[in-house]
Structure 1
């Protein structure tokens, strides 16, 4: 198996490339052709995976995660969180933190604080590892068994005889009994989903430790049939107090089995590939950081969709959907997350800000804030964007601030007078 590690917007080719760069890599011709076919398939669905530059080069779009071609080439795509070169370990750590907080995944069961620092494998293997460790702890604590009703035809009387069905027995089968009885076993929705997730990761992992633990756990769950109705079994997942010890493994099952919608819940895991749209990862990470700082009385709405840009008669047109609308103490803020690297020293090029984003935020301010209030753009902090930009006056009473979010610490870096008052305890 060939492992190639790059970052967003990297270029791939079949020819030789300089070693040590995350922005260009060489891959086998079979993997190159497969990516071209996948690009066409994703483009038809409106989500381009790679851009074909010419016959020799492909450019990866803004996805992160792992791609594995049928020929065994594994391409790990990491976030481009700095303008210059970045080391693989730091980029992996940033991605894992953003996924863990954005997807509200349980804290790692690894007790050693340096375990993540030394985990030298793609993010898919980290997810598999965390699922297996969570499952191992659950198995040690004990799987939940329950009674289930079984109706069957047997040669001996067992349980309760079903009189109506027995009377309808054909003459040649009157020696058989139609009975119903209860069986106490582990065949319940939660265990079926766990078995399905375990079956998937056992065939997917390439890490020896993960492979060994997965097959050990398969032997312990051998009597449980994997779920054949993933969505239905998730709906039937019990949340009563007797199932409280199952709460930690559910998010991992949802991620592995793909129950979460790719665009709203970030992940698309098909075959042996796991991809995350980077804008959605950052947006979910920003939401998690905001919720951590909000006072208990504050309300936050994600993807608010109550306002429109205009009306034609009574028909509303062009729905406006800001990432977050926050309400607290009779005040309201509109916050948008943008996965883009700014340069706070390049005022001549507007710091890298997009005019379209300002038009968009201005429309949000008119419809959601009635033309008066505070707008906030959140960008990732980087080596060229370490401080909040000076406030932009959109119109009388309508202000916009662009602030950085530290990806490793999960902290908003604001000015002395923060545009969001509940961030006053942040780094200044």
Structure 2
């Protein structure tokens, strides 16, 4: 298996080149597979990569792992700095694991053995290891059995006689009984999914401990069949109180069986592929962390959709969807929008790397959701070239836009200097309250 590590917006080629975090060489079959995969994404409106010519392609802002049928494992990490190096690569991997743990609400163990800060392997290996450890804990708590109705024919009565089938017996088989009976088995949707997932881990893990434990578990549950329809079995996953000990392993099982991917590409793949749009991952992560910073008198609404850009024949047209809304007593107080992009606070000549369409977008949000009276925030990741809020951008005397950084290491938002949210958020936001 060829292992390739790159980051967002890296370039891939079939030529022989010096591998770095921003460019790498892949086989012709892997190159063609990625092109075909991009075409599948394009049909659903998503963009995975851009083909520059027949020998080069450029990745977009999806992160995660792609395993191609030819055995190439491509790990795509988030781009948080222009610098490169082994330490930066591991830091990016640790950051991605941390963000996924929070955004997907993964029950990560905090012991020394499984602490993400000490794990020095690929994202895929981390997922498989956490799933295997969670499965081991589940087995210690007990695998859930269930009754399954069996239709059978025997020379003796067992359970219930199926009168209709018995009456249709052909001549000479009157001594054979058509019966229905129940067996107390482990064959239920949850166990079938776990069996499929652990068998996949057995096949793909390269870590000794994960390989050993996964094969032990697979042997213990050898009587459980694999899932024949993953989607249907996930819909039938029971969440009642008797299955409470199954809930911690559910998100890990979804990851291993590629259920958390934005689009399904399981059809032609032979391995495990996990892809996440970094823009959405950053948005979800920031939302969860901001909720902990806000005062209890405020609420944070995600993906508001009650306003339209305009009306046409009494119907709204072009729905406006801000990432986050700060509300108090049902009133909109502030609009926040996240952007996964590196900007530069010292480059005023090039407008700090900001996009004009983003300002148009925030202006529309402020006009419709805040009646042009309230603060607007554009949130970007904190980096060395952007470590403090930019001076305000004033749309009017009653509405200003702030470009502020979010520190992914300390998990905190850097509000403008004139806004002391830790001391008194009420004073800051009340001046905008209608």
Distance change (3 Å), C-alpha of 1:261 and 1:117: closer
In the alignment, the residues of structure 1 paired with residue 395 and residue 261 of structure 2 have an alpha-carbon distance, to the nearest angstrom, of 36
Contact 2:78 2:96 in 1 (8 A): yes
The residue that corresponds to 1:343 in the other structure is 344
The residue that corresponds to 1:222 in the other structure is 222
The residue that corresponds to 2:324 in the other structure is 324
In the alignment, the residues of structure 1 paired with residue 296 and residue 179 of structure 2 have an alpha-carbon distance, to the nearest angstrom, of 56
In the alignment, the residues of structure 1 paired with residue 354 and residue 170 of structure 2 have an alpha-carbon distance, to the nearest angstrom, of 80
In the alignment, the residues of structure 2 paired with residue 423 and residue 184 of structure 1 have an alpha-carbon distance, to the nearest angstrom, of 60
Query: Deviations for 1:68-127, whole angstroms, at most 9, x for unmatched residues?
Result: 233222221111011222522101000101111111111x23510784334232211111
Query: Deviations for 1:3-25, whole angstroms, at most 9, x for unmatched residues?
Result: 11111111222334345x31122
In the alignment, the residues of structure 1 paired with residue 18 and residue 423 of structure 2 have an alpha-carbon distance, to the nearest angstrom, of 47
Query: Mind listing any 5+ residue stretches in structure 1 that lack a counterpart?
Result: none
Contact 1:109 1:133 in 2 (8 A): no
In the alignment, the residues of structure 2 paired with residue 201 and residue 225 of structure 1 have an alpha-carbon distance, to the nearest angstrom, of 16
Matched, 1:30 2:29: yes
Contact 2:114 2:130 in 1 (8 A): no
Query: Deviations for 1:295-345, whole angstroms, at most 9, x for unmatched residues?
Result: 556433322222110111223211111112232245422211100111112
The residue that corresponds to 1:58 in the other structure is 57
Matched, 1:103 2:104: yes
Query: Mind listing any 5+ residue stretches in structure 2 that lack a counterpart?
Result: 426-434
The residue that corresponds to 1:79 in the other structure is 78
Distance change (3 Å), C-alpha of 1:57 and 1:422: farther
TM-score for both structures, normalised by structure 2: 0.88
> How many angstroms does 1:294 deviate by?
4.2
Bigger mean CA offset, 235-244 vs 76-85: 235-244
In the alignment, the residues of structure 1 paired with residue 302 and residue 16 of structure 2 have an alpha-carbon distance, to the nearest angstrom, of 45
Contact 1:201 1:214 in 2 (8 A): yes
User: Where do residues 122-161 of structure 1 align in structure 2 (5 Å cutoff)?
Assistant: 122-161=122-161
Matched, 1:172 2:172: yes
User: Where do residues 106-125 of structure 1 align in structure 2 (5 Å cutoff)?
Assistant: 106=107, 108-109=108-109, 111-112=111-112, 115-125=115-125
In the alignment, the residues of structure 1 paired with residue 168 and residue 100 of structure 2 have an alpha-carbon distance, to the nearest angstrom, of 58
In the alignment, the residues of structure 1 paired with residue 210 and residue 282 of structure 2 have an alpha-carbon distance, to the nearest angstrom, of 28
SS in 2 for 1:248: helix
Distance change (3 Å), C-alpha of 1:327 and 1:222: same
The residue that corresponds to 2:293 in the other structure is 293
The residue that corresponds to 1:42 in the other structure is 41
SS in 1 for 2:363: helix
How many residues align? The count is 420
In the alignment, the residues of structure 2 paired with residue 322 and residue 137 of structure 1 have an alpha-carbon distance, to the nearest angstrom, of 41
Distance change (3 Å), C-alpha of 1:234 and 1:422: farther
SS in 2 for 1:90: helix
Bigger mean CA offset, 389-398 vs 245-254: 389-398
In the alignment, the residues of structure 2 paired with residue 346 and residue 118 of structure 1 have an alpha-carbon distance, to the nearest angstrom, of 37
Distance change (3 Å), C-alpha of 1:310 and 1:29: same
> How many angstroms does 1:130 deviate by?
0.9
> How many angstroms does 1:180 deviate by?
2.5
In the alignment, the residues of structure 1 paired with residue 50 and residue 386 of structure 2 have an alpha-carbon distance, to the nearest angstrom, of 28
SS in 2 for 1:348: coil
In the alignment, the residues of structure 2 paired with residue 136 and residue 33 of structure 1 have an alpha-carbon distance, to the nearest angstrom, of 39
TM-score for both structures, normalised by structure 1: 0.89
